[in-house]
Amino acid sequence: MAMIDVGDIRLHVQRVPPKGRRPAVATAVLVHGMLTDSLASYYFTLAPSFAQAGIDVVMYDLRGHGRSERPDSGYTLDYNLNDLDTLLERLDVTGPVHLVGNSYGGTVAFSYAVRRPERVASLSVIESSPATPEWAANLGVGMRQWAARMEKEEAAVLAWITANRGHHKARQAKRAARLVQATTIVRDIPASRVLTEDQIRSVRCPALFIYGGESSLVEQSPWLKSLLPDYRSVVVPGHEHSVLIEAPQAVGAHILSLIHEVAEAGTPGTAAGTDAP
């Protein structure tokens, strides 16, 4: 475990090197979702198999999450992009990385590929979408509803989660409630600057989108395919938004295949830099 200073806060980082101390095939940076999530969702799913496959794995807790510090404010997408940018510098990761993002982490990863195309070799986006106006509006409604319910019925909600999902999930929900109550995250994230279609189109690296077969996000696939020059998609049948946790082997196999393909071919050309989203 390491705490890395990225300027205004410190982030909790875990790095898992390739097994057997062999040279790394590539570096993968794994970005988790918001509120109830943390780097633990990768530590117990993708990270071990990635390290076994010769990949240098970097995981970190987003600001306010897990063991990272929790500032009172500063939770817009731009803050998270700045954190990722500085984190890679502090870790002396100089080559292009393979970004993997789950849920909100996928939105962070995609926006980072827009901001720093020369730093991203491939994108793997799990149950997520780029930061569009629709994304911001839907997220804002969902976060406000969740926050209001937790404020009024926290004890009942936690009791239901404990009975139906277990004590671990209940603890995650309780920590998320504290984050929502003590910070401006509910206002900040939906108010983030969003991407234009031209900015989305500027992502030239291979972009793999993984969906649960029962997820409504599958509907965005034709639109993304029309914009991204190297768009790939995988649908994992029988799963919804939690496909990473429920089907880690299937998800990991598809991502590893992409990483090895790009690593063997050499880093693809990248588009010229664009204004930060």
pLDDT at 109: 98
Q: What are the backbone angles phi and psi of residue 102, rounded to the nearest 5°?
A: -110, 130
d(CA 58, CA 13): 7
Element (H, E) at 159: helix 133-165
Q: What are the backbone angles phi and psi of residue 27, rounded to the nearest 5°?
A: -115, 125
Which single residue is written with the structure tokens 């910070």?
A: 183
Count other C-beta atoms under 10 Å from residue 221's C-beta.
14
Which single residue is written with the structure tokens 């995988």?
A: 234
pLDDT tens across 64-121, in order?
999 999 999 999 999 999 999 999 999 999 889 999 999 999 999 999 999 999 999 9
pLDDT tens across 23-35, in order?
899 999 999 999 9
Q: With contact defined as beta carbons under 8 Å apart, do 117 and 86 qualify?
A: no
d(CA 121, CA 163): 43
Give the single-character DSSP code of 263.
Answer: H
Q: Return the axis-axis angle of helices 77-90 and 104-115, rounded to nearest 10°.
A: 70
Residue 141 has pLDDT above 50, yes or no: yes
Question: Helix, strand, or coil here: 210?
Answer: strand
Nearest CA to 15 out of 25, 32, 3 is that of: 3
Annotated domain spans of the chain: 2-131+195-265
Euclidean distance between the first and the last CA atom of the chain, given in angstroms as a whole number: 31
Distances (CA, A) of 128 to 44, 79, 116, 181: 20, 19, 19, 25
Residue 274 has pLDDT above 50, yes or no: no
pLDDT at 277: 31
Q: Hey, what's the torsion of the CAs at 142, 147, 152, 157, to 10 degrees?
A: 80
**pLDDT band at residue 267 using 50, 70 and 90 as cut-offs:** low
Look up the CATH superfamily of 2-131+195-265. Answer: Alpha/Beta hydrolase fold, catalytic domain (3.40.50.1820)
